[in-house]
Amino acid sequence: MTRSVKKGPVIVASLMKWVERSKNGAHKGPIKTWARRSTIIPDMIGVTFAVHNGRKFVPVYGPCKGDCLCPSSISRSRTS
């Protein structure tokens, strides 16, 4: 289920600080985050994220604008 347009996208303020540092060159490497619900805005394109899936950090290389970070890091594995 999608989020209401009236509410707007979820953007974590601390994550935006790290994105700005990465764009300025003050931070190298992927940005580690637990904020899976955060929506990707145009400022975040070109930045590599490492999203926590409950066990480890999964790298996300090419996020698309308007998507969330949660589909990129699957938290459940198949068992047969």
In the sheet that holds 49-52, the strands lie side by side as: 31-33, 49-52, 57-60
Q: CATH number for the 13-72 domain, one of 3.30.860.10, 3.90.1150.10, 3.90.1170.40, 2.40.40.20?
A: 3.30.860.10
Dist. CA 75–CA 78, nearest whole Å: 10
Kindly list the distances between the CA atom of residue 15 and the CA atoms of 43, 49, 60, 80, in Å, as whole numbers in the listed order.
11, 10, 15, 37
Query: Considering the chain, what is the average pLDDT of its residues?
Result: 81
What are the tokens at 12?
């974590």
Q: What are the pLDDT digits (tens) for 32-45? A: 988 888 888 888 88
Q: How far is CA 21 from the centre of its chain?
A: 15
Q: Residues 44-73: what's their mean pLDDT?
A: 79
pLDDT, one tens digit per residue, over 20-33 is 999 998 988 999 98
Give the number of other CB atoms < 10 A from CB of residue 63: 18
The reported pTM is 0.73
> How do the domains of the chain map onto residue ranges?
13-72
